[in-house]
């Protein structure tokens, strides 16, 4: 096993440029709001996940998986993909409308999750102020076909340009609904339990300390960055100026995070990847 390769992407990739941005915490939340609007995808999560009782644990596991695919070696990324495919292959769920059983690793559902994630990552980074050309955005989508292959998708069945992503969203929109599960999930995403170590005591039983208000701000920004059609499905949330306000908030958050020392905003996998790249460049 090569422990010194650059993985699926590397320092010259658009993927590394995009995922250098700590503001992608907003993108991750945005993608979850989007994913909740697909009834079958939402049913698959609700019927096979403990996200309500272990929200932060699930968040950490998801973030670790994404970081492994972006910054791990090729062997580490492929091993993470195999584990995910094995786990998904065992899962079944019941369609909320037809009552029929379906596999969670249905390519249609995997494609929805993949596209909402990568579109959220690159669009959030760009709207928060990262300078990306249209060619670089297309390059990001094309590169991310490698991530799609890890979860079991045929890379050529996944949108590889911004135009193809727009076409995909147009085609899938008739399947999207504001279901009860979507509404409950959106509410949970907006006000999840804060880990007790981050909470401040409250004599009246409310948890409204600084971490809670900071999270509210991130959630509001993520909601505001949803496509207009998704906001309409959520009941027309927001005003005509919502998108502009969300962009300004994302830009302010990006500037604030840029002031945090690099050793605190980069995870161990990202740091290790940069160290490997430096060794290979110097060799």
pLDDT digits (tens, 9 = 90+) for 102-148: 999 999 999 999 999 999 999 999 999 999 999 999 999 999 999 99
Burial class (CB in 10 A: 0-12, 13-18, 19+), 178: middle
In contact, 27 and 226? CB cutoff 8 Å = no
pLDDT of residue 203: 38
pLDDT of residue 195: 63
pLDDT of residue 114: 98
Give every residue of the chain whose pLDDT is below 70, as ranges.
Answer: 1-2, 194-212, 237-241, 283
Q: Which helix (H) or strand (E) holds 93?
A: strand 92-94
């Amino acid at each position: 096993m090569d422990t010194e390769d650059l993985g699926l992407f590397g320092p010259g990739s658009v993927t590394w440029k995009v995922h250098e941005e700590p503001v992608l915490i907003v993108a991750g939340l945005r993608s979850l709001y989007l994913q909740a609007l697909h009834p079958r995808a939402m049913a698959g999560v609700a019927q096979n996940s403990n996200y309500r009782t272990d929200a932060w644990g699930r968040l950490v596991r998801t973030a670790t998986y994404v970081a492994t695919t972006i910054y791990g070696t090729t062997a580490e990324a492929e091993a993470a993909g195999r584990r995910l495919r094995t786990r998904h292959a065992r899962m079944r769920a019941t369609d909320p409308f037809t009552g029929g059983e379906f596999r969670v690793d249905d390519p249609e559902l995997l494609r929805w999750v993949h596209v909402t994630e990568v579109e959220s990552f690159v669009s959030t980074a760009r709207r928060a102020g990262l300078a990306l050309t249209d060619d670089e955005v297309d390059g990001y989508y094309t590169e991310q076909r490698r991530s799609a292959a890890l979860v079991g998708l045929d890379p050529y069945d996944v949108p590889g340009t911004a135009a193809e992503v727009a076409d995909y969203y147009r085609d899938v929109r008739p399947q999207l609904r504001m279901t009860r599960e979507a509404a409950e999930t959106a509410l949970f995403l907006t006000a999840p339990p804060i880990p007790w170590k981050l909470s401040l005591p409250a004599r009246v039983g409310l948890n409204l300390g600084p971490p809670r208000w900071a999270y509210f701000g991130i959630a509001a920004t993520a909601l505001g960055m949803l496509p207009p059609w998704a906001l309409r499905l959520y009941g027309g949330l927001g005003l005509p100026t919502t998108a502009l306000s969300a962009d300004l908030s994302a830009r302010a958050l990006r500037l604030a995070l840029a002031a945090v020392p690099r050793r605190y905003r980069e995870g161990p996998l990202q740091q290790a990847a940069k160290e490997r790249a430096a060794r290979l460049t110097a060799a």
